[in-house]
Amino acid sequence: METTHWTLIIVFTTVGIAFAAGFVMFALWAIRAGQFKDVEGVKYRMLEDFNPKDTKKEIKDEFKA
């Protein structure tokens, strides 16, 4: 099967445009879904206390001893 150069150019251009359009659509979906609203807060979230009731109990026990 012999393919001409123009056929390859058209196929590769079509695939490239489809890939780029898919990336743009995915990026727009992520922006509208709010994926990039709080990019700085993630690194501070690990420092938060997830069980404040347990830590208050531990602090009270330390002061009794």
**Torsion angle, CA of 48/52/57/61, rounded to 10 degrees?**
20
Residue spans of the domains in the chain: they are 5-64
Cα separation, 38 vs 41, whole angstroms = 6
Cα separation, 12 vs 45, whole angstroms = 44
**CA 38, 44, 46 angle in degrees (round to 5)?**
115
Overall pTM > 0.85: no
**pLDDT single digits (tens) 16-53:** 999 999 999 999 999 999 888 887 887 787 777 666 56
**pLDDT single digits (tens) 43-65:** 787 777 666 565 555 555 555 55
